[in-house]
Amino acid sequence: MANTILVGAQWGDEGKGKIIDVLTGKADIVVRTQGGNNAGHTVFIGKKRYVLHLIPSGILRPRKLCVIGNGVVVDPVSLVGEMEELNRLGVRVKNLFISESAHLVMPYHRELDEQRELLKGEDRIGTTKRGIGPAYGDKAARTGLRMIDLINPGRFEGLLRFKIKENNEILKAFGAKPLSFAKVHAAYRAAGDRLKPFVTNTVALLHEAARRGKDILFEGAQGTFLDIDHGTYPFVTSSNTTSGGACTGSGVAPNRMDEVVGVMKAYITRVGEGPLPTENQEIADLLHGMGREFGATTGRPRRCGWFDAVATRHAAIINGIDDLAVTNLDGLDSLETIKVCIAYRAGPTRLDYVPADIELLAKCEPVYAEFPGWRTSTSRCRKWSQLPLRARSYLRSLAELTGASLMIVSVGPAREQTIFL
Ligand code: IMP
Ligand code: MG
């Protein structure tokens, strides 16, 4: 399979978890390189449903190595909880390696995330309240704590004492309750002891694996338009969700990467606030009515809309997408007509890229092309030739408009509901 980066080409929740699970069959190692437990990847195997937040979904297959890279922010208590939940479901968590340089998400990060959102009121970002922004903030400010600190009891105690003191001052200014050093210390040290056997120099591990010709799959979290640099700032997450983030977040160089796969839904969704030009209530009602499109991390109903080819074309350029995986095709099975946004119009100007200025983006009106629906269930299709003609022509158009080649079509959550081209 060679070294493959998988990214979300929209606003997250493109169905990456399932595609990664399918591709993992061919990989030796799966690496998470950015984000934290704000991510939620749902994978169905048989009748069992697994929701992963920090652990790469490769863990669901025996003998695959799973790596949490240096670019990830780790909430150690939540990670231990995720490991225990997997154990409960009968998955043995062993081949897991956590970067010693990964930064920690602390309770004051979660508290600050919450307080900042409250203060913003109507202008809030709609974060997952997992403390992601403040944790990356500390990392950039060079005041963060890392896994290597957590597993060194003496060092951790001193650093934590200072951080709790500092952050309690800030929390006081927000009128929030101060944190108890003793409580945080006890919980984090316990998690540290549990995680210590998994903590290592993952850069050395990945280089050695690459040298031995192992195939590495880089598992993106969130999506292109939630990228801290390329997304709809400030309505973004705090990491680089685009393909470059896979290099910096793992220590594997760009010229060692062989392929970029972009995952996108056959329509569009977004959780949280911020502009979404093709948002449409009718399609949201349809999908929610089918019991689909509720967030895997927060349970929030996702906002829904028509496929936005302006956005996916932009994503293809930024990420260098070679191949596409289109998911959730079956969500559109009942529609008579399906719209696709091919350009934006802002007053007299026609735009074929996503503007950086979100005030301009909020004013953009989609220009639509219409496609006739196929009005038959696709969920039992297993081959390209079994898909309705109209579905095939819709998919071909999505790939052409995006500017990449179609590799995978997904027609349901199960592993078998996957069509390779
Ligand atoms: P944060 O990452 O929790 O700070 O949230 C920032 C924005 O990114 C919010 O709009 C979230 O809803 C969104 N977000 C964060 N993680 C995910 C994800 O895994 N899927 C979809 N949206 C996400
Ligand atoms: Mg998700």
Which of 21, 41, 113, 323 is flagged as catalytic?
41
The lowest-confidence range among 50-59, 106-115, 241-250, 303-312 is 50-59
For the cut 70, the answer to whether the pLDDT of residue 158 exceeds it is yes
Looking at all shown ligands, the one closest to residue 40's CA atom is 2
Position 144 scores a pLDDT of 98
Token digits for 348? 């007299």
For the cut 90, the answer to whether the pLDDT of residue 137 exceeds it is yes
For the cut 90, the answer to whether the pLDDT of residue 131 exceeds it is yes
pLDDT, mean of residues 221-241: 97
For the cut 90, the answer to whether the pLDDT of residue 393 exceeds it is yes
For the cut 90, the answer to whether the pLDDT of residue 44 exceeds it is no
SS3 of the chain: CCCEEEEECCCCCCCHHHHHHHHHCCCCEEEECCCCCCCCEEEEECCEEEEECCCCHHHHCCCCEEEECCCCEECHHHHHHHHHHHHHCCCCCCCEEEECCCEECCHHHHHHHHHHHHHHHHHCCCCCCCCHHHHHHHHHCCCCCEHHHHCCHHHHHHHHHHHHHHHHHHHHHHCCCCCCHHHHHHHHHHHHHHHHHHEECHHHHHHHHHHCCCCEEEECCCCHHHCCCCCCCCCCCCCCCCHHHHHHCCCCCHHHCCEEEEEEECCEEECCCCCCCCECHHHHHHHHHCCCCECCCCCCECEEECEEHHHHHHHHHHHCCCEEEEECHHHHCCCCEEEEEEEEEECCEEECCCCCCHHHHHHCEEEEEEEECCCCCCCCCCCHHHCCHHHHHHHHHHHHHHCCEEEEEECCCCCCCEEEC
For a ligand 1 pocket test, name from 113, 222, 327 the mutation site with the most ligand atoms within 8 angstroms of its C-beta. 222
Alpha-carbon distance of 297 to 299, in angstroms, equals 6
Position 62 scores a pLDDT of 85
pLDDT confidence tier of residue 176, bands split at 50, 70 and 90:
very high
Residue 53 a catalytic site member: no
- CB 271 less than 6 A from any atom of ligand 1: yes
Alpha-carbon distance of 31 to 58, in angstroms, equals 9
Express each pLDDT in 178-199 by its tens digit.
999 999 999 999 999 999 999 9
Position 191 scores a pLDDT of 98
For the cut 90, the answer to whether the pLDDT of residue 41 exceeds it is no
- CB 38 less than 6 A from any atom of ligand 1: yes
- CB 272 less than 6 A from any atom of ligand 1: yes
Express each pLDDT in 292-326 by its tens digit.
999 888 889 999 999 999 999 999 999 999 999 99
For the cut 70, the answer to whether the pLDDT of residue 147 exceeds it is yes
For the cut 80, the answer to whether the pLDDT of residue 1 exceeds it is no
Residue 41 a catalytic site member: yes
- CB 12 less than 6 A from any atom of ligand 1: yes
Ligand 1, atom 2, residue with closest C-alpha: 237
- CB 237 less than 6 A from any atom of ligand 1: yes
Position 30 scores a pLDDT of 97
Express each pLDDT in 64-87 by its tens digit.
999 999 999 999 999 999 999 999
Position 7 scores a pLDDT of 98
Express each pLDDT in 324-349 by its tens digit.
999 999 999 999 999 999 999 999 99
CA of 9 relative to ligand 1 center, distance in Å: 14
Domains of the chain plus CATH, in order, are 4-94+202-420 (3.90.170.10), 103-198 (1.10.300.10)
For the cut 90, the answer to whether the pLDDT of residue 120 exceeds it is yes
CA of 211 relative to ligand 2 center, distance in Å: 32
For the cut 70, the answer to whether the pLDDT of residue 101 exceeds it is yes
- CB 144 less than 6 A from any atom of ligand 1: no
CA of 368 relative to ligand 2 center, distance in Å: 27
For the cut 70, the answer to whether the pLDDT of residue 132 exceeds it is yes
For a ligand 1 pocket test, name from 127, 224, 241, 269 the mutation site with the most ligand atoms within 8 angstroms of its C-beta. 127
Q: Are 37 and 54 in contact (CB under 8 A)?
A: yes
Position 99 scores a pLDDT of 98
Express each pLDDT in 250-309 by its tens digit.
999 999 999 999 999 999 999 999 999 999 999 999 999 999 999 888 889 999 999 999
pLDDT confidence tier of residue 249, bands split at 50, 70 and 90:
very high
- Residue 172 main-chain phi, psi, to 5 deg: -60, -45
72 Cβ partners below 8 Å, 6+ apart? 32, 33, 34, 35, 36, 54, 99, 102, 249
Instruction: Using the atom order of ligand 1, give the atom closest to the CA of residue 38.
Output: 16
Instruction: Using the atom order of ligand 1, give the atom closest to the CA of residue 273.
Output: 10
- Arithmetic mean of pLDDT over the chain: 96
For a ligand 1 pocket test, name from 235, 237, 269 the mutation site with the most ligand atoms within 8 angstroms of its C-beta. 237
> Which pTM value belongs to this model?
0.96
Looking at all shown ligands, the one closest to residue 223's CA atom is 1
